[in-house]
Amino acid sequence: MPIGSLKTLLDRPEPALCGWSSLADPVVHEILLRSFDALILDGQHGLQDMADLREGCTRAALLGKPSILRVAPGDLALAGRMADLGASAVILPMVDSASEAEAFAKALRYMPGGTRSFGPTRAADLFGLTPRDYFAAADEAVLSFAMIETAGAIADLDAILAVPELGGVFLGPSDLSIAIGNGALDPKGTATDAAVADVARRARAAGKAVAIYALDADDARRYAGMGCQLIGISSDVAILKAGCERLNTEFRR
């Protein structure tokens, strides 16, 4: 898999649809990878440990698809480690300011422009590169996505988008709805949609990639119409629950 395969996906005219994984089972990861353009591993709310995240990155690379990993808020050390394990991009939740976005983006770049320590043994192997060749390509190929989901991020959006090292933004409609709606959870609401569309428009104008989480296919289509280029849809847990419910309903009917 080329190290820049995620950027190739983002350059397509149609949006990339990504499987979202909260489960640790590598077979589940394979199923998602065979169905979608890329795999997003949820290291914030998911059930994976470090070994599971490593194996998710490995399965993605061996199947020729990018892996994208969401770390916990503020966990810059894990962000760099996930890049070392072969992640094509890292998502940082709850970014609240340009200074936080800059620190995060630099954590995925080597010195002198960043703070990432050199040690990509696994990543270099997965991309079929020597460590030296990986080093030469990684700063431009491994993307940083700052999650826009707080009132602070909305207020500081122009400054966040002006961070040169930042690869893009990732919109979290649930937390965003809480932030702009005085504590009300309304990810599908009109105010949330308006905020998503505004962030997407401004990010695209600033030359940043725009990614988002969608609860279902209707949300994904709507967000694609707003200019979102990369869409994480549903989750392995939600898909499993929905499939079980559908089969039960069909049988009992």
Q: How far is CA 214 from CA 22, 63, 233, 237, 238, in A?
A: 15, 24, 5, 14, 12
Counted residue by residue, the chain has a size of: 253
Contact 66, 5 (CB under 8 A): yes
Helix (H) or strand (E) holding 71: none
Contact 6, 143 (CB under 8 A): yes
Contact 50, 82 (CB under 8 A): no
| Active-site pick, 12, 45, 132, 221 | 45
Q: Is the peptide bond before 112 cis (omega within 30 degrees of 0)?
A: yes
The answer to whether 29 is a known catalytic residue is: no
Contact 45, 16 (CB under 8 A): no
Contact 85, 53 (CB under 8 A): yes
Written as six digits, the tokens of 24 are: 């640790």
Catalytic residues: 45
